[in-house]
Structure 1
Amino acid sequence: MRGMYIHIPFCHQICHYCDFNKVFFKNQPVDEYIESMGKELTLMQEDGISFEGIETVFLGGGTPTSLSEKQLDRLLSIIQEHVDVKSLKEFSTEANPDELTLGKLRVLKDGGVNRLSIGVQSFDAEMLTKIGRTHSPGDAERVVTDARKVGFENISIDLIYGLPGQSRMQWEDTLIKATELDLPHYSGYSLIVEPKTVFYNLMNKGKLPLPGEDMEAEMFHMLIDHMEKNGRQQYEISNFSLPGLQSIHNKIYWENDTYAGVGAGAHGFLMGNRYSNIGPIAKYMEKVNSGLRPIQNTHIVTTIESMEEELFLGLRMSEGVSSSHFLKKFGKELDEVYGSTLDSLIQSGLIERVGERIKLTKIGVFRGNEVFQQFLN
């Protein structure tokens, strides 16, 4: 196992585009939930799952920084009881700009966290309100300054394009302000309207003025160009960094490697099984407190499925898929399994062979979903 994902499902505000497992913070059993995650970690170890030698821990949500300083401190103490935090290559947390106080930053730093992933999304105040965010552009700038003051150097911010009513000029302004912060890492995602979200309901009512596909493609192009001009290399379709500062935890997902999922609704991939935990917090806690692991669903990944995942996840990365690694992992040549599909995609100009690797072309990056679909039965 290379990584561990820990889910904090609490939010003080639900964003209009979010479909992750989350609840409003108020009146929730937050302290009890934190203790339950400690019990889950113990149950996993009793099941023979070793946390020795893991490379990364990632706190996601929800919003980990919705927790108080005391709650964050307790959570980090529990993690330290099970994981040798000092040996981690990367210990990340997601954060909201208006919740990440100097006090919380110090608690995180003292608890071993060494990377921040901050949900900025936009530097346009009006747009932030439209999408249900509660922070201001000034909050985003302030929190980066505070984080550096406390000693954080590995800082990333998330940005979203293709938002309702978003103009080319607004997106360009956000990109300029983002790179003026001179951070080592940026993530830029196109808006996906998911079921059970505010935006999904508005879209069904015809009240969500989204940019068209052409404008979205242009915004993606702007993102790539702007990051390249500012020395941030595109190492994955939506992620850009200075050399050597890629997200190790996210690369574990794209490299189709193993990780534990801890907490309500968390997903994991261990010993050939993909699993998901019980989502509702009360039911999750009830299961753990009864001495049982809170697994809702388990799927044994077949060899064919694992091969498919190796391709459509690996091709997301700029370095692409290694033919020699594929052979070592599956005992079969890449061309033996996918030769005709690869030849077709090469002829279409969507992928290319570079040495022993298969990669998306520049055109393929823009048509990634079309490429990935070719590897799914």
Structure 2
Amino acid sequence: MEDREERRAPQSLYVHIPFCKSRCFYCDFTTFVKSPAAMEAYVDALVAEWDLMEPMEAPLATAYFGGGTPTLLSASLLDRLLTALHRRFEFRADAEITFESNPDSITREKLRVLRDHGVNRISFGAQAFQDHLLQTIGRAHLRDAIDEAVWATRDLGFQHVNVDLMFGLPDQALHDVEESVQAVLRLPVDHVSAYWLKIEPGTPFAKWNEMGLLSLPGEDAEAEMYHLVRDTLCQAGFVHYEISNFARPGGEARHNLVYWRNEPYEATGVGAHGYVRGERFAMERRYSAYLAAVREGRRPVSERQRVPIEERAEDQVILGLRLAEGVDRHRFERRFGRRIEEVFPGVVERLLADGLLERRGSAYHIPDVYWPVANAIFEQWIGTADIH
């Protein structure tokens, strides 16, 4: 059995910029605290890696610079990086180009460089609007920096701005979450991402939690926080289009929709992960090994894994069920040549009977009320695909 979308050429690119001023206590991403000289060497290596890539078969519809803190790079390095990007890749006229940023790492000079090179979406890691909580989680900025950064992006003409919020933080109360959401609503943003805190192995928070030093709100309080975020943003005109994401109409994160729709994307930079023609790949996670591979003229891919068609079908469903649009039955059948009900025998019927799944038009959805416990519903699909 063939996945009929497997041959599709990727039209999206993820670029990892691994540098941070300091490391947040909850973070397990591939990040480093490095000198300006190391950042310059990395930009040179990244540009060289682009020249080692196979030519893209289609113009890019989205590009996403994540991290780390991509805007920790100097204005001159950002200019060098983006000049090379446009020399190497062709973009569609309506392409979305996103840069992640921390509020303390952005300047008007850097924003002008980004804007002049076609970057049209900025995503700020705010996380909270209370200084004591920002210090608790190890953020390098304070609340005032968020307001200043977001208004600067609007002043310089950026139409698409996201703010990240986190809930379930140590010592965070419901009124803190309400205050943060209200603060966001006073800003010129068209997208909000709201995430539960997850204690990741190997982080300071994991160590402190094992020692009993973290005062976490607990599941019931987190559920209240989630409902507060959702209800407040929806009442203010945001559309809850993905479990953790809200957008004003037209402000959806097009690059992230590529992930949730299980579409292919290229990836470059240390620690980056991509998905092209049914194969997942990961780039070298070690900074020195990444640079060494590029110097030797090798693209620093550290692992490749062919994704079995059963797993691709599971991904199509589980990722799609994160979205309000759900999993389209016709698209699933076009991709895999079989009906979703045949590939997952009994699962659809059981979830429908239990009220954990509903069918609207041609798509299956998780009812809104069950989005906070979606992971338990996702588990029902794992290991059940029967596709030949």
Letter in 1 for 2:12: G
1:292-371 aligned within 5 A: 292-371=298-377
Provide the residue aligned with 1:40 in structure 2.
Answer: 49
Change (3 A) 1:322 1:91: same
| TM-score for the superposition, normalised by structure 2 | 0.94
| Residue 192 of structure 2 corresponds to residue 183 of structure 1 | no
1:108-147 aligned within 5 A: 108-147=114-153
Q: 2:201 aligns with which of 177, 188, 195?
A: 195
Provide the residue aligned with 2:258 in structure 1.
Answer: 252
State the 1:301 CA deviation. 1.0
| Residue 176 of structure 2 corresponds to residue 170 of structure 1 | yes
Deviations 1:147-167 (A, max 9, x none): 111111110100000000100
| Residue 26 of structure 2 corresponds to residue 17 of structure 1 | yes
Provide the residue aligned with 2:6 in structure 1.
Answer: none
Structure 2 SS opposite 1:11: coil
CA contact (8 A) 1:350 1:367 kept: no
Q: 2:159 aligns with which of 149, 153, 162?
A: 153
State the 1:201 CA deviation. 1.0
Structure 2 SS opposite 1:23: coil
1:185-264 aligned within 5 A: 185-264=191-270
Change (3 A) 1:122 1:75: same
CA contact (8 A) 2:150 2:188 kept: no
Structure 2 SS opposite 1:10: coil
CA contact (8 A) 2:101 2:124 kept: yes
Structure 2 SS opposite 1:215: helix
Structure 2 SS opposite 1:297: strand
* % identical equivalent positions: 37
Q: What is the CA RMSD across the aligned residues, in angstroms?
A: 1.2
CA contact (8 A) 1:278 1:294 kept: yes
Provide the residue aligned with 1:56 in structure 2.
Answer: 62
1:265, 1:257 → 2: CA distance? Answer: 20
Provide the residue aligned with 1:73 in structure 2.
Answer: 79
1:350, 1:152 → 2: CA distance? Answer: 40
Letter in 2 for 1:42: D
Unaligned runs of 5+ in 2: 1-9, 384-388
| TM-score for the superposition, normalised by structure 1 | 0.97
Letter in 2 for 1:6: V
State the 1:28 CA deviation. 5.9
Deviations 1:160-184 (A, max 9, x none): 0000010011111111111111411
State the 1:188 CA deviation. 0.4
Change (3 A) 1:125 1:78: same
1:28, 1:346 → 2: CA distance? Answer: 57
1:51, 1:241 → 2: CA distance? Answer: 31
2:37, 2:193 → 1: CA distance? Answer: 31
Q: 1:7 aligns with which of 8, 16, 34?
A: 16
Relative to structure 2, which stretch is displaced further, 139-148 or 339-348? 339-348
1:299, 1:198 → 2: CA distance? Answer: 31
1:225, 1:110 → 2: CA distance? Answer: 37
2:92, 2:348 → 1: CA distance? Answer: 43
Letter in 2 for 1:2: Q
Provide the residue aligned with 2:4 in structure 1.
Answer: none
2:34, 2:304 → 1: CA distance? Answer: 29
CA contact (8 A) 2:61 2:91 kept: no
2:331, 2:226 → 1: CA distance? Answer: 30
Unaligned runs of 5+ in 1: none
State the 1:38 CA deviation. 1.3
Relative to structure 2, which stretch is displaced further, 49-58 or 147-156? 49-58
1:139, 1:343 → 2: CA distance? Answer: 50
Deviations 1:51-95 (A, max 9, x none): 532210000001101111111111111111111246352000000
Provide the residue aligned with 2:5 in structure 1.
Answer: none
State the 1:13 CA deviation. 1.2
2:86, 2:204 → 1: CA distance? Answer: 37
1:138, 1:264 → 2: CA distance? Answer: 32
2:120, 2:36 → 1: CA distance? Answer: 31
2:254, 2:92 → 1: CA distance? Answer: 16
1:349, 1:86 → 2: CA distance? Answer: 42
